[in-house]
Structure 1
Amino acid sequence: MPKTSDSVVPRIVVDDVQKRFKLRHTHSIKETFVAAVRRKPLTTDFHALDGVSFTVGEGEAVALLGFNGSGKSTLLKLISGVLRPDAGEILTRGRVAGLIEVGAGFHPDLSGRENIFLNAAILGMSKRETEERFDEIVAFSEIEPFIDTEVKHYSSGMFLRLAFAVAIHTELDVLLIDEILSVGDEPFQRKCIARIREMHAAGKTLVVVSHDLGMVSELCERGILLRNGGVVFDGDSKRAVELMRA
Structure 2
Amino acid sequence: MKPSVEVSHLGMMFNLSKEMHDTLKDYFINLFKHHEKMKKDEFWALSDVSFKLYPGDRLGILGLNGAGKSTILKAIAGVYHPTTGSIHKRGKLAPLLELGAGFEPQYSARENIYLYGSILGYSKEFIESKFDEIIEFAELQKFVEVPVKNYSSGMKSRLGFAICTAVNPDILILDEVLSVGDKKFRRKSEDKIMSMLNGEVTVLFVSHSLEQVRRICNKAMILDHGKLKCFGDINEIAPIYAEMTQEDPEEIKKREAKAKANREKKLREARKTKAHDIINMTNNLDISVEDAMAAIDIPEDKYKTYYKVIDEIEKEEGILTKQDALKAAAAEEAEFDRAATFPNDEDRAESDDDDFDS
Per the normalisation by structure 2, the TM-score is: 0.60
The aligned amino acid for 1:11 is S
In 2, Cα distance between the equivalents of 1:92 and 1:154?
Answer: 35
SS in 2 for 1:201: coil
Structure 1, unpaired ranges of 5+:
1-7, 28-35
> Within 5 Å, which residues of 2 pair with 1:184-199?
184-199=181-196
In 2, Cα distance between the equivalents of 1:154 and 1:179?
Answer: 22
Match of 1:10 in 2: 3
Match of 2:286 in 1: none
2:146 aligned residue (145, 149, 165):
149
Match of 2:96 in 1: 99
Give how far 1:237 is off. Answer: 1.8
In 1, Cα distance between the equivalents of 2:95 and 2:214?
Answer: 20
In 1, Cα distance between the equivalents of 2:239 and 2:16?
Answer: 32
The aligned amino acid for 1:19 is M
- Total equivalences in the alignment: 230
In 1, Cα distance between the equivalents of 2:97 and 2:2?
Answer: 25
Q: Are the counterparts in 1 of residues 49 and 227 from structure 2 also a CA contact under 8 Å? A: yes
Q: Which deviations, in whole Å up to 9, do the C-alpha atoms of 1:182-220 show, x marking residues without a partner?
A: 110112111111111111113322111111211111100
> Within 5 Å, which residues of 2 pair with 1:162-241?
162-241=159-238
1:132 aligned residue (129, 132, 157):
129
Match of 1:49 in 2: 46
Please, which moves more after superposition, 18-27 or 197-206? Answer: 18-27
Give how far 1:97 is off. Answer: 1.1
Structure 2, unpaired ranges of 5+:
21-29, 244-358
Match of 1:23 in 2: 16
Q: Are the counterparts in 1 of residues 94 and 169 from structure 2 also a CA contact under 8 Å? A: yes
The aligned amino acid for 1:187 is K
Q: Are the counterparts in 2 of residues 221 and 237 from structure 1 also a CA contact under 8 Å? A: yes
Runs of 4+ in 1 over 3 A off after TM superposition: 24-27, 39-43
Match of 1:31 in 2: none
SS in 2 for 1:140: helix
2:77 aligned residue (80, 83, 99):
80
Identity score, percent: 40
Q: Are the counterparts in 2 of residues 160 and 180 from structure 1 also a CA contact under 8 Å? A: no
Q: Are the counterparts in 2 of residues 110 and 150 from structure 1 also a CA contact under 8 Å? A: yes
Q: Which deviations, in whole Å up to 9, do the C-alpha atoms of 1:6-53 show, x marking residues without a partner?
A: xx33111101000011224579xxxxxxxx9xx995771111000000
Match of 1:69 in 2: 66
**Structure with greater proportional helix content:** 2
The aligned amino acid for 1:165 is A
In 2, Cα distance between the equivalents of 1:114 and 1:52?
Answer: 40
In 2, Cα distance between the equivalents of 1:91 and 1:10?
Answer: 9
Please, which moves more after superposition, 195-204 or 39-48? Answer: 39-48
SS in 1 for 2:117: helix
Q: Are the counterparts in 2 of residues 99 and 177 from structure 1 also a CA contact under 8 Å? A: yes
Give how far 1:228 is off. Answer: 1.2
Match of 2:341 in 1: none
SS in 2 for 1:10: coil
Give how far 1:75 is off. Answer: 0.3
Per the normalisation by structure 1, the TM-score is: 0.87
Is 1:121 the counterpart of 2:118? The answer is yes
Q: Which deviations, in whole Å up to 9, do the C-alpha atoms of 1:146-173 show, x marking residues without a partner?
A: 2222222323322221111111111421
**Structure with greater proportional strand content:** 1
Q: Are the counterparts in 2 of residues 120 and 170 from structure 1 also a CA contact under 8 Å? A: no
The aligned amino acid for 2:207 is S
Q: Are the counterparts in 1 of residues 95 and 164 from structure 2 also a CA contact under 8 Å? A: yes
In 1, Cα distance between the equivalents of 2:11 and 2:37?
Answer: 23
SS in 2 for 1:117: helix
Q: Which deviations, in whole Å up to 9, do the C-alpha atoms of 1:108-127 show, x marking residues without a partner?
A: 22111111111222222211
Q: Are the counterparts in 1 of residues 168 and 196 from structure 2 also a CA contact under 8 Å? A: no
> Within 5 Å, which residues of 2 pair with 1:27-42?
41=37
Please, which moves more after superposition, 234-243 or 137-146? Answer: 234-243
Give how far 1:89 is off. Answer: 0.4
The aligned amino acid for 1:104 is A
In 1, Cα distance between the equivalents of 2:79 and 2:187?
Answer: 28
SS in 1 for 2:105: coil
The aligned amino acid for 1:23 is L
SS in 1 for 2:132: helix
